Amino acid sequence: KDKDKYYCGIFVENGRIKDTDSVKLKSGLAKIISTFNIESRLTATQDLILVNIKEENITKISEMLAEYNIDTHKKYSELRKASMACPALPTCSLAIAEAERFLPSLIDDLDKRGYGNEKIKIRMSGCPNSCSRPPVSEIGLIGASLNKYNIYLGGDFYGKRLNRLFLELIDGDELANKISRLINYWRINRKNGDEPFGDFCNNRDFEELKGVAK
Tens digits of pLDDT across the chain (214 residues): 667 889 999 999 999 999 999 899 999 999 999 999 999 999 999 999 999 999 999 999 999 999 999 987 678 999 999 999 999 999 999 999 999 999 999 999 999 999 999 999 999 999 999 999 999 999 999 999 999 999 999 999 999 999 999 999 999 999 999 999 999 999 999 998 899 999 999 999 999 999 999 9
Q: Structure pTM?
A: 0.91
Q: Where are the alpha helices (DSSP H) in the chain?
A: 25-36, 58-67, 78-81, 103-112, 175-189, 197-203, 206-213
CATH number given to 78-213: 3.30.413.10
User: Which listed CATH number (3.40.630.30, 3.40.50.720, 3.90.480.10, 3.40.50.2020) goes with 5-67?
Assistant: 3.90.480.10
Residue 1: the pLDDT is 62
Residue 193: the pLDDT is 86
Residue 72: the pLDDT is 74
Could you tell me the residue ranges of all domains in the chain? 5-67, 78-213
Residue 199: the pLDDT is 98
Residue 4: the pLDDT is 80
Buried b (16+ CB within 10 A) or exposed e, 44-58: ebbbbebebbeeebe
Could you count the other beta carbons within 10 Å of the beta carbon of residue 90? 10
Report yes or no: 131 and 115 within 8 Å, Cβ to Cβ. Answer: no
Residue 41: the pLDDT is 96
Report yes or no: 80 and 37 within 8 Å, Cβ to Cβ. Answer: no
Give the Cα separation of 214 and 204 in Å (integer). 16
